[in-house]
Structure 1
């Protein structure tokens, strides 16, 4: 008897705590939302006034166990480049289940205490209507967010099946799911993983379609000293088939894109990496190998980068508002973008960053590589000789190095696999590959572009302040240009 009374008392006590805590959480929601909206708008005015984004909320209602409101992001000045008119907005419905035990979490088998559980869905409006049309009337995305008392977040984003089209290309998929988690209520400190399923990419201008089993994404990021964002993100299209007129012509195990940002050794600058890769390219059952190309930008000043993008975007927006026809003229837009970059790039040069462009292709015989490295100079500190041929180069560049390494067996094997894919038999493919490689290296030697031994063909180039070392031979820049001029006559 006592046990049952105690058990009943515990149930009642828990119920009272639940209701009381839920009511308290509900009372705290609107002030917190108001604080967030105010902080966002103040930051927007200071950091990106040219964007003119204003956040607001409306239709707030709160009960014992749940609350509801809408969050509205208004583009005061519009965004001509994205086709957004001044005054248009994007709205989200937000439904909150109060803690300490949100009902929606309990329904999903999550019995631990939480501050709140929220569902966020996109509202169908002027800007978002195309997204709803692509998703056949459904909300394109729905987010389920669980906020814990330690301020960590766990978010599940469900993406509806959809087919998005522009004038040339269609991108369709069978839906997907992404999971986000972080230690703070900040998008800068978050981990993301998820996927879209059964991707189809097609163009109206031809009969070629690209199929992929999935597009996967993983990302991890946080803020380092001085609020510098660092981390990495990886996106991959998996098990790709390129189909032409109903037949698969190319298969690729995976196509990958990786972005990484890290602090440099002095902890004041950042190193940025953007890499693209192809894994196991197969054509007509012949594996042609795997390759990658990357862009590395080392020793960048984060403050200068932020200033560049702020000023660049502001002037570009002003120019497009003053002349809306610019958005329809690719040549004019390209010319304007180049002028703006030239105007603000000197500030980036002050940290003397280094640009690296490595390229590689490998197969079962080995790897072929090419590398280009450019060490940028600060024009205010650069050493140069006025009136020389290389004056303008030396004001902006400290050194340039380039090298190419082509192991002959790897080069020959690659050429053979291509011939096999074209339908030649093994013996004929081998003979033709050896002939093609011999012809290429012979021409390269005759033109004095490469050095060749019994193992590899090589090219090496170094430049520094008007002096060149090319394949081991030292010369002036004028002499090097004269060599190149012989082949242009």
Structure 2
């Protein structure tokens, strides 16, 4: 019995000692976490127009758990040049490690520093959220504070708001996250399944219905040695419907915004792409809509110096607008010098893709600009811009069938409210399509390949190749001005 008692007592004593030691460290851990959060929030808000900060209001330490209260302050500029401040409060119950009771109850035996259970506190500002949540707490979260990382989830309740202006229904949402102890690496993903909005249009008085399905976000970021966040992030939406009155709904499917910063062979590469799988409007279907940009071959050191100087500029005034409006000559010269230094590395700016498809054709445009440092003898803005352009390559193509679809849609919108005559609509659509195609071909801006209008423009070493025709820059400018003037776009003189 003595051996059995000893076998039980020793682990309990060790557990108690470890728990007591952890309880003495939890407050400092919480305060360090607040300090680190404020550093990251400050970095994120620079240039964004809003200032967000976190405060630890109180900390009551116990043996097995402690209670803390936090305040999140948000300052947003208003239209009158001032700022509006909003504050929300969070209550937190911190279970002490190394074996918090809630984790043991779930069979999680890995030792951790603490387990946090926080929730939004009811205040006059959040009163409507609590009412809309029908007795649920609007925002709760669980965070496991490990010895080298933190991970957990943030959950919102379902909301149902009703007033004289209409109704808003939002399903419950979740964000899962994981971060390194020093927040140099962060992974997260979240989902909001459903949002339904039914309101009255402020001008026409017609009912407006909007529904969103499958809203999600994700990020996988890791800081490099210069503090730049490498990795991808994305926001996606599976489906959105917008309907005004009795008009047919506009349906958008599989929309996304994707961003990534990566280390390429010639430096940093930044990409940003907006994509929509399909849009249905006025009986027409548009698919594979894309707008994608990239900035490649960025020198990391020059980029970091430019970003740091820009942040310093924004922090030099009472607010960001004041800082930019009162920029000194020294600040402007410093930014210009660092921008030139970035150009010396010969970055590439590209519109990688712009286009869409209809049932009868596609349209695509791409533009690639290879940049370089400006020439020392470029004293005018035009000469400086010209000297910074090392080369340009642009490719464009559009099917005549797509032009016809777009013209038909515009014509239907113009006849909205009246009876659409199919025969007259077809005649107008065909005539406008032929006029557009004829102007593009006659002016020399496009050539016809089958039923597709295509154009290409290449520039390098002061030489232009436009649709296979070689000419000097001066000759191209004369051609461009003459063709535009001949088409009547500049008016008659």
TM above 0.5, yes or no, is yes
Contact residue 302 and residue 342 of structure 2 kept, 8 A: no
Q: Distance in 2 between matches of 1:420 and 1:85?
A: 45
- Residue equivalent to 2:99: 101
- Which residue, 383, 391, 395 being the options, matches 1:399? 391
Contact residue 466 and residue 477 of structure 1 kept, 8 A: yes
Q: Distance in 2 between matches of 1:160 and 1:21?
A: 36
Q: 1:448 to 1:31 in 2, by over 3 A?
A: same
Q: Distance in 1 between matches of 2:44 and 2:215?
A: 34
- Residue equivalent to 1:33: 30
Q: Distance in 2 between matches of 1:89 and 1:277?
A: 36
Contact residue 224 and residue 230 of structure 2 kept, 8 A: yes
Q: 1:178 to 1:256 in 2, by over 3 A?
A: same
The secondary structure found in structure 1 opposite 2:342 is coil
- Residue equivalent to 2:67: 68
- Residue equivalent to 2:437: 441
Deviations 1:292-317 (A, max 9, x none): 10121112344444444444455445
Q: Distance in 2 between matches of 1:306 and 1:343?
A: 14
Q: Which runs of 5+ in 1 are unaligned?
A: 327-332
Q: Distance in 1 between matches of 2:281 and 2:349?
A: 34
Contact residue 159 and residue 169 of structure 2 kept, 8 A: yes
Structure 1 position 256, deviation (Å):
0.9
- Which residue, 351, 356, 372 being the options, matches 2:342? 351
- Residue equivalent to 1:232: 232
Structure 1 position 24, deviation (Å):
2.1
Contact residue 303 and residue 342 of structure 2 kept, 8 A: no
Asked whether 1:361 is paired with 2:352, we answer no
Q: Distance in 1 between matches of 2:385 and 2:167?
A: 44
Q: Distance in 2 between matches of 1:212 and 1:79?
A: 27
Deviations 1:184-225 (A, max 9, x none): 224441221111232246664554443112311122121234
- Residue equivalent to 2:186: 190
Segment of structure 1 superposing worse, 206-215 or 409-418: 409-418
Q: 1:270 to 1:40 in 2, by over 3 A?
A: same
Structure 1 position 158, deviation (Å):
1.0
The secondary structure found in structure 2 opposite 1:227 is coil
Q: Please list, as runs of the form range in 1=range in 2, the aligned pairs for 1:148-187 lying within 5 A after superposition.
A: 148-149=146-147, 151-161=148-158, 173-182=170-179, 184-187=180-183
Q: 1:216 to 1:47 in 2, by over 3 A?
A: closer
Segment of structure 1 superposing worse, 314-323 or 18-27: 314-323
Q: Distance in 2 between matches of 1:288 and 1:147?
A: 48
Structure 1 position 439, deviation (Å):
3.1
Deviations 1:223-250 (A, max 9, x none): 2344331111111122211111155421
Q: 1:308 to 1:72 in 2, by over 3 A?
A: farther
Contact residue 232 and residue 261 of structure 2 kept, 8 A: yes
Structure 1 position 394, deviation (Å):
1.8
Contact residue 200 and residue 212 of structure 1 kept, 8 A: yes
- Residue equivalent to 1:143: 141
Contact residue 241 and residue 252 of structure 1 kept, 8 A: yes
The secondary structure found in structure 2 opposite 1:391 is helix
Q: 1:429 to 1:392 in 2, by over 3 A?
A: same
Q: 1:56 to 1:217 in 2, by over 3 A?
A: closer
Q: 1:41 to 1:241 in 2, by over 3 A?
A: closer
Structure 1 position 271, deviation (Å):
1.0
Q: Give the total of aligned pairs.
A: 462
Structure 1 position 48, deviation (Å):
10
Deviations 1:335-383 (A, max 9, x none): 889x99897355234233221112121356664210122223222xx38
Q: 1:23 to 1:157 in 2, by over 3 A?
A: same
Contact residue 99 and residue 116 of structure 1 kept, 8 A: yes
TM-score of the two chains, using structure 1 as the length reference = 0.76
Contact residue 88 and residue 125 of structure 2 kept, 8 A: no
Q: 1:364 to 1:383 in 2, by over 3 A?
A: farther
- Residue equivalent to 1:485: 481
Instruction: Give the alignment's Cα RMSD to 1 decimal.
Output: 4.7
Contact residue 287 and residue 417 of structure 1 kept, 8 A: no
Q: Distance in 2 between matches of 1:431 and 1:46?
A: 58
Structure 1 position 103, deviation (Å):
2.4
Q: 1:265 to 1:322 in 2, by over 3 A?
A: closer
TM-score of the two chains, using structure 2 as the length reference = 0.75
Q: Distance in 2 between matches of 1:102 and 1:44?
A: 29
The secondary structure found in structure 1 opposite 2:439 is helix
Q: 1:314 to 1:392 in 2, by over 3 A?
A: same
Q: 1:319 to 1:248 in 2, by over 3 A?
A: farther
Contact residue 390 and residue 466 of structure 1 kept, 8 A: no
- Residue equivalent to 2:219: 219
Structure 1 position 173, deviation (Å):
2.6
Q: Distance in 1 between matches of 2:282 and 2:249?
A: 7
The secondary structure found in structure 2 opposite 1:351 is helix
Q: Which runs of 5+ in 2 are unaligned?
A: none
